[in-house]
Amino acid sequence: MLRPVVQYPNPLLAKKSEPVAEINDEIRALAQDMLDTLKTVGGVGIAAPQIGVLKRVVIIDVSLEKDDPEAPQDFRVFINPVVTVIDPKLSEENEGCLSVPELRSKVKRPRRVALEGLDLDGNTVRIEGEGYFSACMQHETDHLDGKLFIDHISYLKRSMYDKKMKKAR
């Protein structure tokens, strides 16, 4: 089921998500709703808070790690995901967000990370990535801790965006 994407500055986006205690039909339905929403609105990842649910669930297009930009999308669910830094050297990627419309900005994050969590069958899954794919993994898991990519940009750039959004309302 398609769900509306929660938009900044909704305070829900600044809240920490609860761990998933049990993978049940409710969590499977949540993941399906997230996937339906992501495929409809477009993007490379989505976190449960972005559709108004404070649970530690993300979906990421793992085809981003492949060299072929024409490769079909390959969306994967990660429940209770944890990011581990493999290479702390910073990489700067141009990020955007479904919950922060009309803004893209360069964000510095660790260059190479691993993401580990559970799939919908309760199996441990792990992926590694660098560059843009690494940024995507970190971006989506940040949502689970109440952080947005705009929390990583300069005060000036964020202030300009906030003013623009206030005028638009």
Q: Evaluate whether 132 touches 125 at the Cβ level (below 8 Å).
A: no
Beta bridge mates, 84: 114
3 touches 52 (CB < 8 A): yes
Q: What angle do CA 79, 85, 90 make, to 5 degrees?
A: 125
Distance CA 125, CA 123 (A): 6
What secondary structure does DSSP assign to 39-67, as a single string? HHH--SEEEGGGGT--BSEEEEEGGGGSS
Give the E-state strand segments of the chain in sequence order. 45-47, 57-61, 75-97, 100-118, 124-130
Active site residue 116: no
Write the CA distances from 160 to 101, 116, 152, 154, 155, integer angstroms: 14, 36, 14, 10, 9
Q: Which of 65, 93, 95, 140 is catalytic?
A: 140
Catalytic positions are 140
